């Protein structure tokens, strides 16, 4: 059984008097352990697809099934709980909390989990060591380089061992050398068994993934293995 | 790492904004504490002063008589069946239920007597209790000591042409004028004061008194009840309460109290507005941050807890500081506001806990809407990046 099953997902927004159709019937299947990149031009609907996949954006029609759970049929705050337990997010602008240290930022998803403080610290240290920042636990985000901030964001996304790691343009704000290092890190995590779904506009990033899904005007136009 | 770590670290980061919020709320709480404490201290001061020199119960002989007095002009009266009060009856006053509320009893014997060629009204008093009650008396010379000294009212002094150190003769007995009262504008100006036993002897009223003034402590003392209790102990006497002075002062204080409450209401409103605007601004500034929290699985209740905990911490600090500043303000203002210079500041634990509780309630209530607003943020819109 597929880890993620997206069936005929449509999403439309109203913008003034106009109705914008961001997704027009998307069907995607993702297996556990896959590294998927979603590509497309600006306005193709790739970021909307990622937010629907991440349980943050109710589709207008269609279904998203993840690990056997129909996401948008979950009641109330159960969807938030599902995100906390199963998903890890890496955002384009890192979105680290500026007043928390690297270790505290990484521990953020664990703040709502019943665990001892020592266990949380140990999990954060392990995650930061995994991304090569074991020596910078106590640095604030503004004391880290762009690449290091990205790594902290990745460590935050994997600290709770999620089923799926979702990344939105993770190299969008990085120079080419750092981008390569970050993509290599994603690949490394994937090789260790982590399912990764990444939105990117950089074709070079596609070379790190198992499969690339191309979107155009809210529809899947091509899937490259 | 717990939710409170986020709240505390955010407060540390936004020092200037949180300082503004704390000071805004603190000023409000301090104003309320100052007003409440000043009102309390002034009440206590007035009560203390009334205790010190306010005769508020008058004991006079029971009589079936008609007063012929109009507009301050006395035309005499028709009195019959006049009864005397015995001096020993006064001891019974100390046995009433509310005896602990009695601060002084000043017995008096009155009678007309001739001094030289002048008719004067002689008043026998117990100088210790009389001087305690009438602290507004200004004496030129000294207070009388012993039975052979007298005190003259200012008019009596002029009429008798006697000043401090002079001697006057009453019924062939010589008395030294120890002192003369400064003009009081009351009946005291025309009187000659002698010691109670000597006056009783001169007037032929040994063991009897004409009237007695009683000063009762007024902080919560039931004057009406005390009047009834004294009347039961001395059935031959007429016991009445002197209410006017007390009521006048309390009325003025009551107006100040109303003003204080109105001011407190305005201050509470402004304080709430400051908290609301600041917290709302803080939430709007943290849109992305709240979006991240929601995206990684924080529930709406978690977001509310973070915001309300911040508000609670700031409010508690403002409450403590506001109480301290308010008491300081009251201490500085009291000498200018109170009637007496040695008015005491009232330290009330209810004001301390009340001000901290009020700050906390105010902070939480005013932050409730911003917290709800934050918790309802759509993570996608909040992040925008997705």
Encoded tokens for B52: 């010190």
Q: How many inter-chain contacts (A to B, CB under 8 Å) are there?
A: 94
Q: What is the pLDDT of residues B15-25, one digit of tens each?
A: 888 888 899 88
- β-bridge partners, B32: none
User: Is residue B78 within 8 Å of residue B182, measured between CB atoms?
Assistant: no
Contacts of B379 in chain A (CB under 8 A): 56
Q: Could you give the CA distance from residue A182 to residue A168 in angstroms, rounded to a whole number?
A: 13
- Domains for chain A: give ranges and CATH numbers: 34-47+76-224 (3.40.50.300)
Taking alpha carbons only, the member of B159, B349, B2, B288 closest to residue A93 is B288
Q: Could you give the CA distance from residue A148 to residue A155 in angstroms, rounded to a whole number?
A: 10
b or e along B127-152 (b: 16 or more beta carbons within 10 Å of the residue's beta carbon)? bebbbebbeebebebeebeeeebbbb
Mean pLDDT split into 10-residue runs, chain A, 225 residues: 88 85 90 91 87 89 91 87 90 87 93 90 90 87 90 90 89 82 87 90 85 90 72
Q: What is the pLDDT of residue B74?
A: 52
Q: Which of B144-158, B289-303, B329-343 has the lowest mean pLDDT?
A: B329-343
Sequence ranges of the domains in chain B: 3-48+249-383, 56-241
Q: For tokens 């508690």, name the residue.
A: B316
Chain A nearest-CA distance from B366, in A, is 25
Residue B321 has pLDDT above 90, yes or no: yes
Residue B385 has pLDDT above 50, yes or no: no
Query: Within 13 A of B318's CA, how many CA atoms are on the CB side?
Result: 32
Percent of chain B residues topping a pLDDT of 90: 22
Paired sense of beta strands B237-241 and B57-61, if any: antiparallel
Q: For tokens 């601060």, name the residue.
A: B103
Q: What is the pLDDT of residue B54?
A: 54
- Mapped onto helix, strand or coil, the DSSP state of residue A207 is helix
Residue B211 has pLDDT above 90, yes or no: no
Q: Which of A95-109, A188-202, B65-79, B333-347 has the lowest mean pLDDT?
A: B65-79
**Interface residue B344 vs chain A (CB under 8 A):** no
Contacts of A85 in chain B (CB under 8 A): 297
Instruction: Compare CB distances from B289 to A87, A97, A110 and report the shortest one's residue.
Output: A97
Residue B44 has pLDDT above 70, yes or no: yes
**Interface residue B291 vs chain A (CB under 8 A):** yes
**Residues in Cβ contact with A38 at an 8 Å cutoff, skipping those fewer than 6 apart:** A46, A49, A50, A197, A198, A199, A200, A212, A213, A215
Average pLDDT over chain B, rounded to an integer: 83
Residue B205 has pLDDT above 80, yes or no: yes
Q: What is the pLDDT of residues B213-226, one digit of tens each?
A: 887 765 556 777 88
Phi, psi of B77 (to 5 degrees): -165, 170
A73: buried, middle or exposed (CB in 10 Å: 19+, 13-18, 0-12)? exposed
Question: From the candidates A93, A111, A169, which should be mutated to test the interface with B, based on the most B CB atoms within 10 A?
Answer: A111
Q: Could you give the CA distance from residue B218 to residue A223 in angstroms, rounded to a whole number?
A: 93
Instruction: Compare CB distances from A51 to B1, B300, B386 and report the shortest one's residue.
Output: B386
Encoded tokens for A33: 């352990």
**Interface residue B296 vs chain A (CB under 8 A):** yes
Q: What is the pLDDT of residue B386?
A: 39
Q: Could you give the CA distance from residue A132 to residue B132 in angstroms, rounded to a whole number?
A: 87
Residue B55 has pLDDT above 70, yes or no: no
Contacts of A14 in chain B (CB under 8 A): none
Average pLDDT over chain A, rounded to an integer: 88
Residues of A with CB under 8 A from a CB of B: 47, 50-51, 54, 56-57, 77, 80-85, 87, 89, 91-93, 95, 97-100, 104, 107-112, 117, 120-121, 124, 156, 168-169
User: Is residue A190 within 8 Å of residue A164, measured between CB atoms?
Assistant: no
Contacts of A93 in chain B (CB under 8 A): 385
Interface predicted TM-score of the whole assembly (ipTM), two decimals: 0.90
Taking alpha carbons only, the member of B219, B215, B225, B284 closest to residue B57 is B215
């Amino acid at each position: 059984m597929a880890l993620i099953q997206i069936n005929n997902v449509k999403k439309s927004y109203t913008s003034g008097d106009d109705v914008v159709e961001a997704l027009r019937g998307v069907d995607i299947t993702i297996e556990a352990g896959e590294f998927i990149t979603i590509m497309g031009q600006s306005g193709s609907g790739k970021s909307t697809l990622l937010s629907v996949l991440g349980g943050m954006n109710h589709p207008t029609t269609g279904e998203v099934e993840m690990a056997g759970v129909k996401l948008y049929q979950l009641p109330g705050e159960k969807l938030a709980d599902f995100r906390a337990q199963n998903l890890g997010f890496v955002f384009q602008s890192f979105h680290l909390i500026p007043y928390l240290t690297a270790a505290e930022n990484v521990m953020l998803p664990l703040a709502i989990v019943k665990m001892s403080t020592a266990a949380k610290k140990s999990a954060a240290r392990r995650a930061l060591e995994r991304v090569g920042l074991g020596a910078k636990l106590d640095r604030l985000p503004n004391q880290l380089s762009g690449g290091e901030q990205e790594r902290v964001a990745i460590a935050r996304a994997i600290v709770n061992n999620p089923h799926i790691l979702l990344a939105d343009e993770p190299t969008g704000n990085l120079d080419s050398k750092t981008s390569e290092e970050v993509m290599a890190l994603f690949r490394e995590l994937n090789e260790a068994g982590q399912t990764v779904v990444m939105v990117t506009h950089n074709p070079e990033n596609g070379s790190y993934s198992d499969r690339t899904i191309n979107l155009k005007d809210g529809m899947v136009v091509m899937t490259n293995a | 790492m717990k939710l409170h770590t986020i709240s505390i670290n955010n407060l540390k980061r936004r020092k200037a904004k949180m300082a503004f919020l704390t000071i805004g709320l603190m000023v409000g709480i301090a104003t309320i504490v100052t007003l409440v404490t000043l009102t309390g201290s002034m009440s206590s001061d007035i009560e203390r002063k009334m205790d010190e020199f306010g005769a508020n119960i008058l004991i006079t002989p029971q009589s079936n008589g008609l007063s012929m007095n109009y507009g301050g002009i006395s035309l005499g009266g028709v009195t019959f069946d006049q009864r005397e009060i015995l001096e020993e009856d006064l001891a019974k006053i100390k046995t009433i239920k509310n005896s602990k509320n009695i601060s002084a009893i000043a017995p008096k014997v009155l009678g007309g007597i001739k001094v030289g060629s002048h008719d004067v009204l002689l008043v026998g008093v117990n100088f210790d209790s009389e001087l305690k009650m009438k602290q507004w008396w200004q004496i030129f010379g000294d207070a009388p000591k012993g039975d052979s000294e007298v005190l003259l009212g200012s008019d009596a002094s002029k009429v008798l042409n006697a000043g401090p150190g002079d001697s006057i003769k009453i019924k062939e007995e010589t008395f030294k004028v120890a002192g003369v009262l400064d003009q009081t504008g009351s009946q005291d100006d025309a009187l000659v004061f002698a010691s109670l036993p000597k006056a009783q002897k001169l007037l032929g009223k040994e063991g009897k008194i004409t009237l007695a003034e009683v000063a009762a402590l007024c902080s919560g003392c039931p004057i009406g009840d005390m009047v009834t209790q004294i009347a039961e102990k001395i059935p031959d006497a007429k016991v009445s309460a002197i209410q006017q002075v007390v009521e006048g002062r309390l009325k003025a204080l009551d107006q100040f109290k109303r003003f204080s409450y109105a001011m407190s209401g305005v201050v509470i409103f402004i304080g709430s507005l400051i908290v609301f605007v600041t917290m709302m601004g803080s939430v709007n500034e943290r849109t992305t941050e709240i979006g991240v929290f929601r995206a990684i699985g924080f529930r709406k209740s978690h977001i509310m807890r973070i915001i309300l905990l911040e508000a609670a911490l700031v409010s508690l600090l403002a409450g403590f500081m506001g109480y301290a500043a308010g008491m300081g303000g009251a201490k500085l203002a009291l000498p200018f506001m109170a009637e007496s210079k040695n008015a005491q500041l009232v330290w009330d634990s209810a004001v301390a806990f009340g001000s901290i509780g009020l700050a906390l309630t105010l902070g939480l209530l005013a932050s409730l809407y911003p917290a709800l607003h934050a918790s309802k943020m759509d993570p996608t819109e909040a992040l925008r990046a997705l």
